[in-house]
Structure 1
Amino acid sequence: MASVRLVHRPASSGDRERRLLAGDVDVARSTLEQGRGLMFRRSVPDGYALVFPFDETDTQWLHMLFVPFAIDALWLVDGEVTERKRLAPFVGLGRAEADTVVELPAGAADGVAVGDEVRLVE
C-alpha cells in the first residue's frame, strides 16, 4: 500500500514551492468514519491529517463535539482551499463549500490561505 501525503502549494508560488502538511494521513471514506472523525481521541500527532472526500461539492459542516483539542480545518474544492479555520475544543463549529475537508493539528495549517492548493499525493 502506497504512503499518502498531504502537500500544500501557495497560490503565489506557481509550481516552485511545495510544503508537506502531513505525512501520516487517514482518509475517512465510509459514512461511519466520516461521522466519527476525530471524536473520542485524546490528541493527534504532529504531521497527521484526517481527510474527508465527498462525492460532490456541497456545504460541509464540522463540529468539535467530543474532540478535546483544537484543530485547523481546510475546506477544498478541486484541491483549492475555499476556507480555513481554527476550531476550538468541544465547541468549535465550521462550514463551507467543499468536495474535500481536511483536519490537522492546530497550527499545522499556518501559512495556508484561501486560494492555495492542497492535495493528496502518493
Structure 2
Amino acid sequence: MQVVHHPADATGVASTADDATAGRVLAADAETADSFLAQARGLMFRRSVPEGYALVFPFEEVGSRDLHMVFVPFAIDALWLVDGEVRERKRLRPWLGIGVGEADTVIELPAGAADGVEAGDRIELRE
C-alpha cells in the first residue's frame, strides 16, 4: 500500500484527482496495524524504519488517539486523519515524544517524510 499526499489549494480544498499518478508519495511501502497487538506495539523495539515506509493505524470511528515514543529510538512524523483529511501533523522525538489528536486513521512515517503536509490536506491510501 502507498501513502499519497494531496495538498489543499489556496481555498483550503485538497485535490482529489482520479489520475493514479497525481499526488506526492510519502510512503511506497505502508504496513497496516490492524490488530490490537500490532496497534499496541506500533514501532516499539525497532531500531529504525526505512525511507518510504509507513505504519497505518485504522480505527472504526473518530476518537482521541494518542501516540507515545517509549522504546522508539528514532524520531517520526505522525499524521492524524479524519475521512482522509489531515487534522494534525507532529514530529515526535525519540523515547520522550507524545502526540494526541482526533482521528479515524493515524499514520507514522520516518521523520521528514511528512514535511510540507498541513492540516486540511488529503491523504490517500492506495493498494
Q: CA deviation at 1:15?
A: 3.9
Equivalent pair of 2:15/2:122 in contact (CA under 8 Å): no
Is residue 78–residue 89 contact of structure 2 (8 Å, CA) maintained in 1?
Answer: yes
Structure 1 residue aligned with 2:3: 6
Q: Which range is displaced more, 83-92 or 17-26?
A: 17-26
Three-state SS of the structure 1 residue aligned to 2:39 is helix
Which stretches in structure 2 are left out of the alignment for 5+ residues?
A: none
Q: CA shift at 1:90, angstroms?
A: 0.2
Aligned residues: 119
Cα 1:15–1:119 change in 2 (3 A) is closer
- Provide the alpha-carbon RMSD of the alignment: 1.0
- AA aligned to 2:126 is V
What's the TM-score, normalizing by structure 1? 0.94
TM-score by length of 2: 0.91
CA distance in structure 2 between the partners assigned to 1:104 and 1:14 by the alignment? 22
- Can you give the 5+ residue segments of structure 1 that lack an aligned partner in the other structure? none
Q: Give the Cα separation in 1 of the matches to 2:124 and 2:92.
A: 21
Instruction: Find out whether 1:85 has 2:90 as its counterpart.
Output: yes
Q: Take 2:16 and 2:125, find their aligned partners in 1: how far apart are those partners?
A: 16
Corresponding residue number in structure 2 for 1:39? 44
Q: Find runs of 4+ consecutive structure 1 residues off by over 4 angstroms.
A: none
Sequence identity (%): 65
